[in-house]
Amino acid sequence: QVPLVESGGGLVQAGGSLRLSCAASGMVFSIYTMGWYRQAPGKQRELVATITSNDNTNYADSVKGRFTISRDNARNTVYLQMDTLKPDDTAVYYCNAERVVPRAIHWGKGTLVTVSS
């Protein structure tokens, strides 16, 4: 079974908002650094935002100030609040979970975000 399941993608107009959710299962969620990545058509996958187990966050410059990553350890869920969406935000967004010791990486299957102009 897939341990990470994204939801919340869809079609929105430029300037609108979406909130993506990633629900984790079969893992000790609280010890993982969680992240969101995206892959636009014809482009390579890129990091969007990460949040550590201590709630330290990091954002790609392209989304800083518009996107907010957060986590709810009680619900084993990480969120990506996306505001002021732009057409170039259009991509498949993937949830990622990583831990260092022992080393582990998990990926969700992705959720499509389409931003119309």
pLDDT at residue 1 greater than cutoff 70: no
pLDDT at residue 26 greater than cutoff 90: no
Here the tokens at position 46 are 């890129």
Digit-coded pLDDT (tens) for 52-110? 999 999 999 999 999 999 999 999 999 999 999 999 999 999 999 999 989 999 999 99
* Spatial distance between the Cα atoms of 1 and 74, rounded to a whole number of angstroms: 21
- Region 48-55: mean pLDDT is 97
**Phi, psi (deg, nearest 5) at residue 74:** -65, -25
